[in-house]
Amino acid sequence: MLVRHPRLWRGLAFAVPALLLFALLVDLRIDAQRNEFREIADQAFDRLSQADRNSLAMLNALAATYQGMNDFDASRLSGLAASIRQANPGTRLIAFAAWVPGGEASQFVEQMVEEGYPTFRIRGDGPHLLASGREGYLPIRFLEPNDPRLLGLLGGDLVRDPADVALMRRLIGAGRPIILSDWSPADRFAEDIFYGVPTYRGFFVPSSRRDRLQQVDGVFVLSLSPTALLAGLNRHFPSVRFALVRGRASLARVDGEYPKLSWLVGEHALIQLELRQPVFAGSRVLHATRSLAAPDLLGLWVVAPPVGLGLAMLVLVVALQNRVQAREESRRKGRELELERHRADGAMRSISDAVIMLDEDYRVRYLNRVAEEMLGCTADRAAGKPADQLLELIDVLNGCPLQELHGWLERMCEGETGPEVLLNNHFREQLPVNIRVSRLEGHDHGGLVLAIRDTSHEYELNARLSYQASHDDLTGLLNRSAFEQRVRAVLSQQDASDAIHALVFVDLDRFKLINDTYGHEAGDQLLRMVTEVLQNGLRDDDCIGRMGGDEFAVLMRAPDMTIVGELADRLRKRLESMRFLWSGHVIDVHASLGVVPVDAELGGFDEIMKNADMACHAAKEAGRNTVHVFQPDDRVVGERRRQVQWLPRLQQALENDQFVLYRQAIWPVRKTDGEGPAFYEFLVRLRDSDGTDIAPGLFLPAAERFDMMRCLDRRVIALAMEAMGDPDCMPPGSRCTINLSGQTLTDEGLIDYIAEQARRCEVTPDRVCFEITETAAITNLEVARKLAGRLRAMRFRLMLDDFGAGMSSLGYLHNLQVDYIKIDGQFVRNAVTDPLSAVSVRMICEIAQVLGLETIAEMIEDNATVLSMRKHGVDYLQGFDLSRPEPVPRSRRLRLAYSR
């Protein structure tokens, strides 16, 4: 409660006692003020009473003095009256009115004039009957002080109206001083308090009232000025305001209410004390008031103690609140700590790392759940055990247990990188772990925290990644990079023995055809099968890798290259004996193998691989399914080397326009007289610097190998179009065929280039037929199909060259939509002697007829073949026996160029 509304309670703690004490002190203060006020009022009353008594006494004395002397003249009276005025503050005047019998008024006035009062007159409506048988006046003949402002009273009759008659008769009859209530000699003195005392003839006051009325001589009058009296009172008691008012019983003092207290009576007054007391024989009421403003009541001693008490209570409550708050805060923090502990425990339990907390003596203080499972020990049982009893760490590098675990932990804590370690778990398994050690900062007793992460999964993952990085996904063999590492390792090691290392390069023959024919899945399966066959044929220490596509390499160690050759041939035979069954088809698999020594003296890895590749190509060129063992003076390999040397020459020839066209006529199989060739096939030659033309067989392999066929084909197309557009080169209306290599099929700008050249040379498309080899078309079947479609759309013709060599399905013929089929020359050349070739030719012709295609038989070298082809239904013939290739005359452009 105290803490829920702290400000409220603090305010109450301050305000309530402060207000109570304040009220008490204010009440005491008021009480004190009332007492003080009462004392002052009583003193004022006493002063007025004293003035009253003094006035009576002095007036009585004056009268007695006057009474007792017979020569009491004005000078003496003046001195005496002045003394009385001085002795009795508040006395405004002392007057003497002489009794003037009614018949002596004139005489009295004359006497006054004679004495120096020339303007003296008796003023009044008298004479009045003041006693039985005695009428007269009581004119004032003497005044003290001799103030010009008062002198107007001279001559005034004390009896101003009939009511005064009784008063004067009472006064004269009394023979002693009395207060002349409600009487004044003039209106302007109406507020004064007048006393009167009569004087009589003779030295003594007559004893009887009757005699006093008969023997009256005059009357002394004394007045007290309320203004002067109040000024004196206010001067002496400045804190109280006094007033004298006429009044009597109604203003009498009432016990129990005296002095009266009123609240908020003025603009600035908080309270007003009021006292009324009759004075001057009840003719006046002394009205005393005292207004007390806040500062009068709220002095320092009134304000300070409540504030002090309030502050003290405030401090007490604040201290109490702080204590309660501190207790609640402590409880709240305890709950939060407990919650945090639960959370931390939950977090510890939720994290995958094992967490072990050690005290400063390296004894176990805490294990989380993972640590419990990892170490096979509960936290309770582990608590207090030395760390080196619980943790058995093995150095990965040497396989030995870690010595000096404590020192190792401290070094790890300092950031030192330790060796990879294994942890013996409770199953006695060695887990690869990563241990991070940190110090319990700020903890009272220090200690260490070990975060142990089981890195088995990462370890396996790394191993798998490493494996994947070094192995081929499809076959599981080493990939090229890993294999290279092995070869380089061999090259860098010096083998003291006589054994040699060799590399066997395996390239499957016509794998692409299989892959394209039966699909990649078949190709992949074939590769896996080949891998298995190869692995089964290898020795334990042989190392095999997949170099890419259908290429494999085996690193062997053998006494000499002969044995390596034998081992390679053994592999070839294994592959040859392999039968790959796919979708009901039995596919023969064979490969060409190149063998090269792995010897640092013969070059590095790249050189070795180049040699192996050339050896493998040599094996392929040797008819495939063979093994070619590289020799330093190897001819075939030397040829391959020469191909490499063709590269700069080809580039130079393209740049210098050194290629020229030859043409070979293609004749109808049943030629009529005078009929010219149906086509001319343009053939390319490289004109050497000595003017000789180099056959394409020498440079085309190099061009194909070094991917220069696109450029070369474009140059042939340009030359052919120029020739076809030049009647001096080609007979008008003649048709031609232009060969497109497999590389050119993928030339995306080819169609536009052909169209541009035809337009440039004004050659109609129907005069040009493009030849694509069956192998190239099959290899790039989809590209070939699109190309064929676009060429036909432009009305160019298309011919499938070397048809039959691929031994492929004939289904693609329909998709390619070719116009002509040029039968593979091997079939044509052997058709006369080889029945299979003859059947093949006949079957091809029959298929062509079904598809509406025309066939061309090339490599016609003799008349028997002409007859055979004619028999099989071939439409056109081409060969040395009919027309040898001849140079095409230079076109107009070339002529102009050479003429310059």
Partner 1 sequence: MALLGAEAQALPRCLFVSSYHQGYSWSDGVQRGLEDALEGKCQLRQFDMDTKRHKAEAEKRAAALAAKALIEAWKPDVVITADDNAARYLIVPYYKDAKLPFVFCGINWSVNEYGFPFSNVTGMIEVAPVRALLKEARQLSGGHDRFFYLGADTATERKNLARFRKAAAGLGIQAESRLVDSPRDWLDAFAEAQGFPFLVLGSQAGITGWDFAQMRAAIGDKARTLTVTNHQWMMPLAMLGFTKLPEEQGDWAGRTALAILDGTPPAEIPIIANRRWDLWLNSSLLARAGIRLPDKLSSKAKQWQDTP
437: enclosing H helix or E strand? strand 430-439
Q: 823 with 847: CB under 8 angstroms?
A: no
- Counting contacts by CB under 8 A, is residue 107 touching partner 1? no
Residue with tokens 């007269």: 136
645 binds partner 1 (CB under 8 A): no
Q: Which is nearer to partner 1, 114 or 762 (CB)?
A: 114
Confirm or reject binding of residue 794 to partner 1 (CB under 8 A): no
The least distance separating partner 1 from the CB of residue 173, rounded to whole angstroms, comes to 31
Minimum distance of partner 1 from residue 79's CB (angstroms): 8
**Residue of the chain from 70, 119, 417, 689 that contacts partner 1 (CB under 8 A):** 119
Binding partner 1 by CB under 8 A: which of 43, 60, 65, 78?
78
Q: Which is nearer to partner 1, 111 or 321 (CB)?
A: 111
Stretch that binds partner 1, among 9-17, 117-125, 467-475, 817-825 (CB under 8 A): 117-125
Q: Which of 72, 117, 258, 362 binds partner 1 (CB under 8 A)?
A: 117
Query: Residues in the chain, how many?
Result: 900
Position 120 contacts partner 1 (CB under 8 A): yes
Residue 707 amino acid letter:
D
Supply the DSSP string of 359-406, one letter for each residue.
Answer: -TTSBEEEE-HHHHHHHT--HHHHTT-BHHHH--EEETTT-PBPS-HH
Strand 736-740, strand 768-773: pairing: parallel
Residue 39 within binding range of partner 1, rule CB under 8 A: no
Strand stretches in 704-796, DSSP E: 736-740, 768-773
Task: Check binding of 187 to partner 1 (CB under 8 A).
Answer: no
Nearer to partner 1, 118 or 256 (CB): 118
Q: Rule CB under 8 A: which of 368-407 touch partner 1?
A: none
First to last CA, the chain: 117
Selected from 4, 7, 86, 116, the binder of partner 1 by CB under 8 A is 116
**152 or 206, CB closer to partner 1?**
152
Q: Nearer to partner 1 by C-beta: 73 or 886? A: 73
Helix (H, G, I), strand (E, B) or coil at 337: helix
C-beta of 92 vs 486, nearer to partner 1: 92
Query: What are the structure tokens assigned to 683, written together?
Result: 């053939």
Q: CB 140 → partner 1: shortest distance, Å?
A: 11
Examine residue 115 and tell whether it contacts partner 1 (CB under 8 A). yes
Is 93 among the residues that bind partner 1 (CB under 8 A)?
Answer: no
- The least distance separating partner 1 from the CB of residue 152, rounded to whole angstroms, comes to 6
CA–CA distance, 636 with 616 (Å, rounded to integer) = 10
Shortest distance, CB of residue 204 to partner 1, whole angstroms?
22
At position 621, the amino acid (one-letter code) is E
- Give CA–CA dist 526/533, Å, rounded: 10
Quick check: 71 binds partner 1 (CB under 8 A)? Answer: yes
Establish if 227 lies at the interface with partner 1 (CB under 8 A). Answer: no
Give the integer Cα–Cα distance in Å for 506 and 627. Answer: 9
- CB of 73 or CB of 328, closer to partner 1: 73
**Which pair of structure tokens corresponds to residue 780?**
């790039």
Query: Which of the stretches 69-77, 198-206, 691-699, 885-893 binds partner 1 when contact is defined by CB under 8 A?
Result: 69-77
Rounded Cα gap, residues 425 and 377, in angstroms: 10
Q: How far is the CB of 114 from partner 1 (least distance, A)?
A: 8
DSSP β-ladder status, 659-668 and 579-582: unpaired
Beta-carbon contacts of 827 under 8 Å, excluding residues fewer than 6 positions away, are: 804, 837, 840, 841, 844
Task: Supply the minimum distance, in Å, between the C-beta of residue 238 and partner 1.
Answer: 27
CB 157 within 8 A of CB 181: no
User: Which of these ranges, 110-118, 569-577, 616-624, 765-773, lies near partner 1 under the rule CB under 8 A?
Assistant: 110-118
Q: Which is nearer to partner 1, 78 or 631 (CB)?
A: 78
Instruction: For partner 1, give the closer residue by CB, 117 or 189.
Output: 117
Tell me: does residue 4 bind partner 1 (CB under 8 A).
no
Rank residues 143 and 530 by Cβ distance to partner 1 and give the closer one.
Answer: 143
Instruction: Give the nearest distance from C-beta 194 to partner 1 in angstroms.
Output: 21
* 66 interacts with partner 1 by CB under 8 A: no
Give the binding-site size for partner 1 (rule: CB under 8 A): 20
Q: Which of 15, 74, 243, 379 forms a contact with partner 1 (CB under 8 A)? A: 74
The two three-digit tokens of residue 831, written as one number: 């058709």
Query: Mask: binding to partner 1, 137-176, rule CB under 8 A, as x and -?
Result: ---------xxxx-xx-xx---------------------
Per CB under 8 A, 73 contacts partner 1:
yes
Residues 799-828 that bind partner 1 (CB under 8 A): none
482 near partner 1 (CB under 8 A) = no
| Local structure of 550: helix, strand or coil | coil
Q: In the complex with partner 1, which residue's Cβ is closer, 75 or 398?
A: 75
Tokens, residue 168: 């004067």
What contacts 876, CB < 8 A, 6 or more positions away? 666, 667, 668, 669, 678, 679, 820, 854, 855, 856, 857
- Say whether residue 235 binds partner 1 (CB under 8 A): no
Residue among 649, 647, 676 nearest 663 (CA): 676
Minimum CB separation of residue 295 from partner 1 in Å reads 37
Pairing of β 876-877 and β 854-857: parallel
Residue 84 is a binding residue for partner 1 (CB under 8 A)? no
Decide if residue 265 touches partner 1 (CB under 8 A). no
Pairing of strands 854-857, 820-823: parallel
Question: Residue 187 or 655: which CB sits closer to partner 1?
Answer: 187
Q: Judged by CB under 8 A, which stretch of 100-108, 113-121, 196-204, 709-717 contacts partner 1?
A: 113-121
The three-state (H, E, C) secondary structure of 158-212, written as one string: CCCCHHHHHHHHHHHHHCCCEECCCCCCCHHHCCCEEEEEEEECCCCCCCCHHHH
CB environment 135-148: b (16+ within 10 A), e (fewer): ebbbbbbbbbbeee
Measured CA to CA, the distance from residue 703 to residue 327 in angstroms comes to 95
Q: Are strands 659-668 and 679-687 parallel, antiparallel or unpaired?
A: antiparallel
698 binds partner 1 (CB under 8 A): no
As a whole number of angstroms, the distance between CA 125 and CA 141 comes to 17
For residue 142, the minimal CB distance to partner 1 (Å) is 8
Among 70, 75, 250, 492, which residue interacts with partner 1 (rule: CB under 8 A)?
75
In the sheet that holds 448-454, the strands lie side by side as 364-367, 354-358, 448-454, 430-439, 421-424, 393-395
Give backbone dihedrals phi and psi of 97, rounded to 5 degrees, phi first: -105, 125
Give the nearest distance from C-beta 232 to partner 1 in angstroms: 23
Name the residue nearer to partner 1 (CB basis): 154 or 730.
154
In single-letter form, the type of residue at position 65 comes to T
Token pair for 143: 């005044």
- Report the C-alpha gap between 578 and 509 in whole angstroms: 13
The reply on whether position 532 binds partner 1 by CB under 8 A is no
Which C-beta is closer to partner 1: that of 119 or that of 497? 119
Three-state secondary-structure class, residue 507: strand
Which of 1, 86, 118, 689 is the binder for partner 1 (CB under 8 A)?
A: 118
Binding status of residue 86 toward partner 1 by CB under 8 A: no
Q: Give the integer Cα–Cα distance in Å for 687 and 657.
A: 9
Pairwise CA distance, residues 370 & 3, whole Å? 44
Counting contacts by CB under 8 A, is residue 699 touching partner 1? no
CB of 147 to partner 1, least distance (A): 7
The minimum distance between CB 154 and partner 1, in angstroms, equals 6
Residue ranges binding partner 1 (CB under 8 A): 71, 73-75, 78-79, 115-120, 146-149, 151-152, 154-155
